[in-house]
Structure 1
Amino acid sequence: MNLILQGLSQDRAAATHIANLASGRLIDLSATTWRCEGIAMSDALKAEIDSACHIAKLDYAFMTPERQLSDFKLLAMDMDSTLITIECIDEIADMQGLKPQVAAITEAAMRGELEFNESLIRRVALLKGLDASALERVYDERLQLSMGAEKMLTAIKAAGIKTLLVSGGFTFFTARIKKRLGLDYTHANELEIVDGKLTGKVIGEIVNADVKQRTVERICTELGILPAAAIVMGDGANDLKMMRVAGLSVAFRAKPVVRAQASVALNFVGLDGILPLLT
């Protein structure tokens, strides 16, 4: 196996220490990215590397040397707290003075402590009566792309890989992000708006974990590929089902339950941290 190490600082000494723990040969990929070759991976070694990397603020991934970006044909991404830095519903709720209450429900749902449909219905109900212009304010004033998003997408598109944004959030935001970033597919929840006000309801089927998985599988079928040719990125418990069917699952700034089950976890570097893994 190869062990890929990457961070935000040029701390080659930390990378050298970890390479020595793994008994691997260290190769510089950049000032902040290294590859250790010839690693005999084991659960004990992984636990040791995990602890050392946490202390050094380095992300790590054990990868088979032959894996390339060209092996993949679809990149599926969660939106809130993955492609973007915020949870849109929490920021919408802030316009109602209800952010703490809604954010607490969001956090519990993302940790897997609340059933997603129930949590979304409860959160959206709290938005009843809010002027729909609040959505535009959140998009204009608070929505930011996660670090490395544009660099990642430039490389993904150059490799001919299709892009899917599949979200338990809202179509108001996914539609705008699709246009802004030139994404191929999106799927999200639609907020009901009547007379310029949020009704506190969602129109149609809720995009929960099962729907996210089915959406990834449906797009793969449309593209004539297997889910094994998909990279799936997410941060919350409702992303786990679509991550499990992917050829490579990436936990980005994720909850512990997600990090534990993903192929790769990016805790420090940006979304473009997937690129050194597949070169």
Structure 2
Amino acid sequence: MNLILQGLTAERNVIDRIAALAGATGIVALTATAFRCEGVTQTADIKAAVDAACLAAQLDYAFVKASLQLADFKLLAMDMDSTLITIECIDEIADMQGLKPQVSAITEAAMRGEIEFNDSLTRRVALLAGLDASALQRVFDERLQLSPGAENMLAAAKVAGLKTLLVSGGFTFFTDRIKQQLGLDYAHSNVLEIVDGKLTGRVVGGIVNAEQKKLTVAHLCAELGTTPANAIVMGDGANDLQMMGIAGMSVAFRAKPVVRAQADVALNFVGLDGILNLFR
């Protein structure tokens, strides 16, 4: 196994100390702030010690197979809000109504897994009733930003031959535009109902919840002639856990504790392109 250590900054003496915890036989500098510790041993006790040391040093870590390559995978599936992009779109839409605190509180509870997603989305969207649909374009133009490292990650995935999927409990207004902007292969999300230029406070059709996200990944893998074992799935909230659970590699990005605890890899400090350091 290899242990990948990386951060926004990284002191070599700290890297050496953490590598020693895992019994590394060698250390290779990948960049000035990313290191591959080779020949490590992974046990529950070692993982716990590395986890604590990395948290204290503000480093991300991952135990990976020494031979792992990005091209071993066939699909990169990503959540949108607070994963591929930095905002929660529905919270920013609500801000146009002066209702961001109320909607954000429901969003946070849903991401922690405290509220069932369908109920949370229905309640949040209802609060948007009557809002002029032009608010959606304002959010896209003025507030939507890609997460750090997103473009580097996607460029490398395309070079390696992976298909890309944006699957979201958010809205097609945003996923369709991001898909076009970034040249993604697939996108799937919810449709906001708009009548006479205003939001009705309802979603058209079924809700893209945790189960639907998982089914979307599974069905797309089948279409591509592969299985979810050959998919990398990235997310940050409880609504992402089911699709992450069937993936060959699950990545929690700046995620809630319940998600970090179940993911194969957690990126708490570096950008999305931090996953690239995991591969040969």
Tell me the TM-score range normalised by the shorter chain.
over 0.9
**Is contact 2:221–2:228 with CA below 8 Å preserved after alignment?**
yes
Q: Is the 8 A contact 2:83 2:236 kept in 1?
A: yes
Point out where structure 1 has 5 or more consecutive residues left out of the alignment.
Answer: none
Match of 2:217 in 1: 216
Q: Distance in 2 between matches of 1:19 and 1:223?
A: 39
Letter in 1 for 2:62: A
**Alignment of structure 1 residues 1-279 onto 2, 5 Å:** 1-24=1-24, 25-279=26-280
The C-alpha deviation readout for 1:44-89, integer Å capped at 9, x for no partner, is 1111100100011100000111211111010000000000000000
> What is the letter of the counterpart of residue 219 of structure 2?
R
3-state SS of the aligned residue for 1:135?
Answer: helix
The alpha carbon displacement at 1:20 in A equals 1.7
Q: 1:261 aligns to what SS in structure 2?
A: coil
CA-CA distance at 1:10 after TM superposition? 3.9
In 2, distance between residues paired with 1:248 and 1:200? 36
Q: 1:29 Cα shift?
A: 1.1
Task: Give the superposition deviation at 1:14.
Answer: 1.5
Identity of paired residues, percent? Answer: 72
Distance across 2 between alignment mates of 1:13 and 1:203 = 55
Residue type matched to 2:208 in 1?
Answer: V
Give the residue type in structure 1 aligned to 2:2. Answer: N
Q: Distance in 2 between matches of 1:20 and 1:10?
A: 16
- Equivalents in 1 of 2:41, 2:136: separation in Å? 50
State how far apart, in whole Å, the 1-side matches of 2:279 and 2:249 are.
Answer: 10
**Whole-angstrom distance in 2 between the partners of 1:212 and 1:52:** 34
Query: What is the one-letter code of the residue matched to 1:213?
Result: K
Tell me, in whole angstroms, the C-alpha distance in 2 between the residues paired with 1:81 and 1:22. 32
Q: CA deviation at 1:30?
A: 1.1
Q: Is the 8 A contact 2:10 2:59 kept in 1?
A: no
Aligned residues: 279
Deviations 1:154-213 (A, max 9, x none): 000011110000000000000000000000000000000000000000000000000000
Of 15-24 and 204-213, deviating more is 15-24
1:100-132 CA-partner distances (Å, limit 9, x unpaired): 000000000000000000000000000000000
Rounded to whole Å, the distance in 2 between the matches of 1:217 and 1:166 is 12
For 2:183 and 2:159, the matched residues in 1 are separated by 13
My pick for the range that moved more, 36-45 or 113-122, is 36-45
Q: CA RMSD in A?
A: 0.6
Letter in 1 for 2:268: N
- 1: CA distance between counterparts of 2:130 and 2:58? 44
Q: For 2:198, give the aligned amino acid.
A: K
TM-score, normalising length: structure 2: 0.99
Q: Look up the equivalent residue of 2:30 and give its one-letter code.
A: L
